[in-house]
A and B are shown apart, each in its own frame.
Chain A
């Protein structure tokens, strides 16, 4: 009994420290990256003529990479890309058609979010620049979402204090207040 408890505790601690380590590693990788997040966003936006719906830091065959998902509504294609942090080379590209037999694979929320992003004045590079300016932290993740009729980007930032969430309303370009507890 005691032994199992011990194992559980050990596992919990290791997994926790692994997460903490993971975050630290991510921040380290981002700091070292010679091809910046901004460059990656610009490259992907230009090359694929689409809207970035998800971004995170990943590991591709031992090499740090940006994992970016882009949707091109005109072509009805969704791309999942791995970009090298070193030189911005496309390490992997998976594309998938958004419609099968005329039926859209996107659910209504996703579709609404993309439509609103298209019609709004929102600029992702500008939002990223503002966040960097305001929080002086590394951007490790972001994602486009739509909930209750509100389209927003959910950013995850990381600095010495730890993780931080910032929600930016796509329609107004303003930050949505966060309730802590």
Chain B
């Protein structure tokens, strides 16, 4: 019971770890490569060491044994029975390293009293047990048998210590390989993690920049290694990018700002001209057209300046709880005449009670802009719907929609879709909406309504 209680979380931990290590594939790949290289090196070392030590000795031993067997065979062919047996006994008596025995049909010469069973014939050797009377113990020796005209000859050598050495070598090798494996995995993971940690900081900074935080910079350590060089280069690049952004925004702002005053003066003059023309009774149509166009230009400049202000603005402490229902109802009421003019139909649905923290005026602007866009671009006899969801609102229409490749671009300043150029507008509405949405820490996305466009705005649920 106690075991199973601990088993479950530990199993979960192991699977979690395994999943993570598989996902962080570069760490795992590096570790695997490193570990297998380490194992290979250790393995090669061990094999070479074995061949030069134990392998060498055992090879020498079997060569010598085979030499001896061959020699005796030749002698058996050359010498007669008694001469051969005499030299054999001499050889058996003098050899300390080899155990020699000759078993004939009626006698036994040498050290062993019988031919061991399941012995192989030379040059193949086999291990068999013998009993040592002197030490009262069993000993495992290896040797082979050779059939001679005189009888069966057994040549063997006591290689028990060599055999033990071999076993010790193998077990030591296995332990060494296991240690190398553990060491490889642990150090590999450690090193790879350290490398990856720095790469991950680059990734997270890149993500922050992507999200619009142009001031984010990669931290630079004092090691002055390749990563630091890369960080410095990326930081320089980011600084340049930020400067360019500021410059572009600054230029448009400066133009808008600087032209506002002369254009204001121009408007006053036109108004004056209009009054004069009115008084003198001449034609005012031309002047009225000029005035309305000038007003449109001034409106665009105002909107551009406001957009810049909004983009630079931080989330303000003046934010209050705002009921989205009220904001949307207000905006719908205001836009209703326009929609009816365009012979469109507006429905507002969804439940009440979606409260967000924000600026009611700005949110109203955003909703109004979106509804205005819908009305402007959807065309006549279309449906426009507003739905309040749990986390925000959705505005959809049944118009032509926006192609997928344009969906990102419409948020850029002054961008206009080719097909909509015939409709009056400056490409400021959607950027303004996005600036407001961002200010509220919310997300805006454009989706297909099949047919038409669906604008989904989601506020951060944590703020509710």
Q: Give A contacts to B, CB under 8 Å.
A: 147-148, 150, 152, 165, 167, 169, 172, 174-181
Given A165-B131, A177-B101, A178-B113, 11 additional A-B pairs, CB 8 A: A147-B137, A169-B129, A174-B117, A175-B114, A176-B131, A177-B115, A177-B116, A177-B130, A177-B131, A179-B134, A181-B133
Of the residues A150, A169, A180, contact of B133 by C-beta under 8 Å? A180
Q: How far is the CA of A180 from the CA of B118 in the complex (A)?
A: 21
Taking A176-B116, A177-B114 as contacts, is the C-beta distance between A150 and B129 under 8 angstroms? yes
User: What residues on B are CB-neighbors of A172 within 8 Å?
Assistant: 117-118
Confirm or deny: B140 has a beta carbon within 8 angstroms of a beta carbon on chain A.
Answer: yes
Confirm or deny: B111 has a beta carbon within 8 angstroms of a beta carbon on chain A.
Answer: yes
User: What residues on A are CB-neighbors of B101 within 8 Å?
Assistant: 177
Confirm or deny: B46 has a beta carbon within 8 angstroms of a beta carbon on chain A.
Answer: no
A177 smallest CB distance to B (angstroms): 4
User: What residues on A are CB-neighbors of B356 within 8 Å?
Assistant: none
Confirm or deny: B138 has a beta carbon within 8 angstroms of a beta carbon on chain A.
Answer: yes
**Contacting pair A180 B113 (CB below 8 A):** yes
On chain B, the number of residues with a Cβ less than 8 Å from chain A's Cβ atoms is 22
User: What residues on B are CB-neighbors of A177 within 8 Å?
Assistant: 101, 112-116, 128, 130-131, 154
Confirm or deny: B1 has a beta carbon within 8 angstroms of a beta carbon on chain A.
Answer: no
**Contacting pair B130 A178 (CB below 8 A):** yes
**Contacting pair B114 A150 (CB below 8 A):** no
7 pairs of A and B residues whose beta carbons are closest in the complex: A147-B138, A174-B117, A177-B112, A167-B131, A178-B131, A177-B130, A177-B114
User: What residues on A are CB-neighbors of B112 within 8 Å?
Assistant: 177-179
- Which chain B residues in 108-130 approach chain A with CB under 8 Å? 111-118, 128-130
Q: List 25 A-B contacts (CB under 8 A).
A: A147-B137, A150-B138, A150-B140, A165-B131, A165-B133, A167-B131, A172-B117, A176-B116, A176-B129, A176-B138, A177-B112, A177-B114, A177-B131, A178-B112, A178-B114, A178-B131, A178-B132, A178-B133, A179-B111, A179-B131, A179-B132, A179-B134, A179-B139, A180-B133, A181-B133
**Contacting pair A148 B140 (CB below 8 A):** yes
Chain B interface helix/strand/loop/mixed? strand
Q: How far is the CA of A15 from the CA of B134 in the complex (A)?
A: 22
Q: How far is the CA of A17 from the CA of B371 in the complex (A)?
A: 128
User: What residues on A are CB-neighbors of B394 within 8 Å?
Assistant: none
Scan B65-104; emit 1 where CB is below 8 A from any A CB, else 0. Answer: 0000000000000000000000000000000000101000
Q: How far is the CA of A181 from the CA of B132 in the complex (A)?
A: 8
B123 smallest CB distance to A (angstroms): 20
Q: How far is the CA of A175 from the CA of B154 in the complex (A)?
A: 16
B208 smallest CB distance to A (angstroms): 66
A148 smallest CB distance to B (angstroms): 6
Q: Give B contacts to A, CB under 8 Å.
A: 99, 101, 111-118, 128-134, 137-140, 154
User: What residues on A are CB-neighbors of B131 within 8 Å?
Assistant: 165, 167, 176-179
Residue of A whose beta carbon sits closest to that of B116: A177
Q: How far is the CA of A155 from the CA of B341 in the complex (A)?
A: 122
User: What residues on A are CB-neighbors of B99 within 8 Å?
Assistant: 179
B122 smallest CB distance to A (angstroms): 17
Q: How far is the CA of A111 from the CA of B138 in the complex (A)?
A: 18
Taking A172-B117, A176-B116 as contacts, is the C-beta distance between A181 and B129 under 8 angstroms? no
User: What residues on B are CB-neighbors of A165 within 8 Å?
Assistant: 131, 133
User: What residues on B are CB-neighbors of A174 within 8 Å?
Assistant: 117
A147 smallest CB distance to B (angstroms): 4
Q: How far is the CA of A179 from the CA of B128 in the complex (A)?
A: 13
Q: How far is the CA of A44 from the CA of B265 in the complex (A)?
A: 133
A164 smallest CB distance to B (angstroms): 10
User: What residues on A are CB-neighbors of B132 within 8 Å?
Assistant: 178-179
B98 smallest CB distance to A (angstroms): 12
Q: Which of A150, A167, A178 has the most CB of B within 10 A?
A: A178
Q: How far is the CA of A178 from the CA of B139 in the complex (A)?
A: 10
User: What residues on A are CB-neighbors of B129 within 8 Å?
Assistant: 148, 150, 152, 169, 176
Q: How far is the CA of A181 from the CA of B140 in the complex (A)?
A: 16
B250 smallest CB distance to A (angstroms): 89
Q: Which of A167, A176, A177 has the most CB of B within 10 A?
A: A177
Q: How far is the CA of A158 from the CA of B181 in the complex (A)?
A: 60
A128 smallest CB distance to B (angstroms): 18
Q: How far is the CA of A176 from the CA of B139 in the complex (A)?
A: 10
User: What residues on B are CB-neighbors of A175 within 8 Å?
Assistant: 114
A74 smallest CB distance to B (angstroms): 28
A176 smallest CB distance to B (angstroms): 5
User: What residues on B are CB-neighbors of A180 within 8 Å?
Assistant: 111, 113, 133
Q: How far is the CA of A180 from the CA of B133 in the complex (A)?
A: 6
Residue of B whose beta carbon sits closest to that of A146: B138
User: What residues on A are CB-neighbors of B114 within 8 Å?
Assistant: 175, 177-178
Residue of A whose beta carbon sits closest to that of B114: A177
User: What residues on B are CB-neighbors of A176 within 8 Å?
Assistant: 116, 129-131, 138
Q: Which of A174, A180, A181 has the most CB of B within 10 A?
A: A180
Q: How far is the CA of A176 from the CA of B114 in the complex (A)?
A: 8
User: What residues on B are CB-neighbors of A152 within 8 Å?
Assistant: 129, 138
